[in-house]
Amino acid sequence: MRRDISHEKIKDTVARLCIDANYFLGNDMIQAFKSYIENEESDTGRDILKQLLRNAEIAEKEQVPLCQDCGFAVVFLEIGTGVCFEGNIIEAINDGVRKGYTEGYLRKSILSDPVKGKNTNDNTPAIIHTTFVPGDKIKITVAPKGGGSENMSEVKMMKPADGIEGVKDFVVDRVLRSSSNPCPPTVVGVGIGGTFEYVAFLAKKALLRNIGERNTDPFYADIERELLQRINNLGIGPMGLGGRTTSLDVFIETHPRHIASFPVAVNINCHVARHKTAII
Amino acid sequence: MSESAIITPPLSDDDIMKLKIGDRVLITGKILTGRDSAHKRLFDLIKEGKSLPVDVKGQIIYYVGPAPAKPGYVIGSAGPTTSYRMDPYAPLLMEHGLKGMIGKGVRSQPVRDAMKQFKAVYLAATGGAGALIAKNIKSARIVAYEDLGPEAIRELEVENFPVIVANDAYGGDLYQEGIKQYRR
Ligand code: SF4
């Protein structure tokens, strides 16, 4: 079972996902804004949530980006082992990012080198995470990530003795210290376990879930609920100006760990929680 | 001050003293834009005793780096950027007459002190509401530092641009007050 997928197909799919992710907010987010407006006690907070609903309507209707920070193009690939490419898939993805960000009038925010660099002017290169799965298809998810919320993220090598209570306190404290900076209401991705670099990936991957989608393990699903409540008791509120709505959801992803290590990562996403998927 | 009052720059000390934290304000008129690189250049010019390419007296600076404009649009999505990166430069600009700053996120103590000392306000716009805010921008023209691209200083003509007073000239801070009020 082998199936050919062309450079053009991958490029065009990635380009469309970059644009769609920036123009169209997920329905789960729209529904979340609506239900949180009901429970928001602050007038200012309610006003801001209404602005976010209106913003999503305008972006969709006029086909313009939700936010001027159109993000770093983070791409998740699940490649079926039966798939054959012509050429280089990394190049095809970057060609897609270039096309999407240029044709979609999206802001280009990537410097070619972190210290000496200039703007690459086409938002490349993408950050690409790849896994292999059985089958003859490719699943591509593009999750453009804004700088404001990314900057409030953190990895901590905790002690195994800190236990799950230590993890919870770290997550809540990270949100508290972020205050208004990540454009609350936020979505909070948490990684637990694995290694130093892998735990950050887990936290990022957690952000691909839709609002309300709980961890399949009831133990972690309960912790997600508990963390959301604790975070929304902080009082930070929409845009940090006070209120009940600080985060719309908390998602935990886990991995086996070394007996000596207990890595935890928090990756914060803003209310412009962008992720769009295609299977080709 | 009543809800959603309209302000138009240039602003006087009296205008500023009428604003209190939590006030919802609509800006109509001309405002300037500037973020990291433009701030650094203005700051360096003042330090060197040179004149500025734009007059900041009585003006409002909006911290924004807009998305490119689609054909037929005056500007792309244009929500606020995080303000703390402008904190090192803001007090000196206020000393030279800047009356307002629009951005998102908390300001440092020196910036808050300068607002009190020089009578200025910090106005919070809704971060991430770039498509919505662009609707309130009627024209945009580059007035300095064209070489900086999205970071160039622009003069924007705005109409009913919605902001909330987050820091006033009395030392008030809505970020601190808000969280105190809603913490459980
Ligand atoms: S944190 Fe998110 S919503 Fe806020 S400016 Fe950045 S990308 Fe936009």
| pLDDT tens digits for range A227-240 | 999 999 999 999 99
Q: What's the whole-number mean pLDDT along residues A150-178?
A: 97
What pLDDT sits at residue B151?
A: 86
Domains of chain B: which residue ranges?
A: 5-183
In this structure, the residue with its CA closest to atom 3 of ligand 1 is B128
pLDDT digits (tens, 9 = 90+) for A141-155: 999 999 999 999 999
- Regarding pTM above 0.90, the answer is yes
Q: Would you call A236 an interface residue with chain B, using a CB distance cutoff of 8 Å?
A: yes
Domains of chain A: which residue ranges?
A: 3-21+66-144, 147-273
CB < 8 Å from B in window 12-41 of A: 41
Closest CB from B129, B174, B180 relative to A52: B129
What pLDDT sits at residue A116?
A: 92
What pLDDT sits at residue B90?
A: 97
Least confident of A178-182, B3-7, B29-33, B87-91: B3-7
Contact residues, chain A, for B84 at CB < 8 Å: 181
Contact residues, chain B, for A51 at CB < 8 Å: 126, 129, 132, 162
pLDDT digits (tens, 9 = 90+) for A214-226: 999 999 999 999 9
Which has more pLDDT, A44 or A1?
A44
| Cβ contact A145:A71 at 8 Å | yes
Residue A124 CA, chain-centre distance (Å), reads 18
Q: DSSP characters for A43-111?
A: HHHHHHHHHHHHHHHHHHHHT--SSS---EEEEEEEEETTEEESS-HHHHHHHHHHHHHHHTTPPP--B
The Cα–Cα gap between A20 and A196 comes to 32
Angle, helices A43-62/A27-39, rounded to nearest 10 degrees: 160
Which amino acid is present at B125? A
Q: What's the whole-number mean pLDDT along residues A32-45?
A: 96
A218 burial class (0-12, 13-18, 19+ CB within 10 angstroms)?
exposed
| Cβ contact A199:A263 at 8 Å | yes
- A184 Cβ inside 6 Å of ligand 1: no
Angle at CA B125, nearest 5°, toward A265 and B31? 135
Q: What's the whole-number mean pLDDT along residues A36-48?
A: 96
What pLDDT sits at residue B149?
A: 80
Residue B107, token pair as written in the block: 């300001």
Question: Residues with Cβ < 8 Å from A79, sequence gap 6 or more?
Answer: A89, A130, A131, A132, A133, A138
Question: Is the peptide bond between B10 and the residue preceding it cis, with omega within 30 degrees of 0?
Answer: yes
pLDDT digits (tens, 9 = 90+) for B174-183: 999 999 999 9
Chain B: which residues have CB within 8 Å of chain A?
22, 24, 64-70, 73, 76-79, 81-82, 84, 104-106, 124, 126-132, 134-135, 149-150, 162, 164, 166, 174-175, 177-184
- The sheet with strand A154-158 has its strands ordered as A154-158, A262-269, A186-194, A247-257
| Cβ contact A132:A90 at 8 Å | no
Tell me, what's the ipTM? 0.92
pLDDT digits (tens, 9 = 90+) for B40-88: 999 999 999 999 999 999 999 999 999 999 999 999 999 999 999 999 9
Residue B4's pLDDT band (cuts 50, 70, 90): confident
What pLDDT sits at residue B150?
A: 78
* 3-class secondary-structure state, position B41: helix
Q: Is the pLDDT of residue A270 over 70?
A: yes
Residue A2's pLDDT band (cuts 50, 70, 90): confident
pLDDT digits (tens, 9 = 90+) for A75-134: 999 999 999 988 899 999 999 999 999 999 999 999 999 999 888 999 999 999 999 999
* Ligand 1 nearest atom to the CA of residue A70, by list position: 7
Residue B148's pLDDT band (cuts 50, 70, 90): confident
Q: Is the pLDDT of residue B28 over 60?
A: yes
What pLDDT sits at residue B3?
A: 59
The Cα–Cα gap between B163 and B133 comes to 10
Contact residues, chain A, for B177 at CB < 8 Å: 242
The Cα–Cα gap between A249 and A191 comes to 14
Mutation probe of ligand 1 site: the residue of A23, A67, A106 with most atoms within 8 A of C-beta: A67
Residue A1's pLDDT band (cuts 50, 70, 90): low
The Cα–Cα gap between A195 and A65 comes to 35
A155 burial class (0-12, 13-18, 19+ CB within 10 angstroms)?
middle
Q: What is the distance in A from the centroid of ligand 1 to the CA of A87?
A: 35
Question: Is the peptide bond between A125 and the residue preceding it cis, with omega within 30 degrees of 0?
Answer: yes
CB spacing of A105 vs B150 below 8 angstroms: no
Residue B1's pLDDT band (cuts 50, 70, 90): very low
Q: What's the whole-number mean pLDDT along residues A171-199?
A: 97
Q: DSSP characters for A173-218?
A: HHHHHHTTTT-SSEEEEEEEEE-HHHHHHHHHHHTTSPTT---SSH
For chain A, how long is the longest CA-to-CA vector? 59
What percent of chain A has a predicted confidence (pLDDT) above 70? 100
Is the domain defined by B5-183 classed in CATH 3.20.130.10?
A: yes
pLDDT digits (tens, 9 = 90+) for A54-77: 999 999 999 999 999 999 999 999
Which chain A residue has its CA at the smallest distance from B78's CA?
A: A68
Distances (CA, A) of B159 to A103, A117, A196, B162: 29, 37, 49, 9
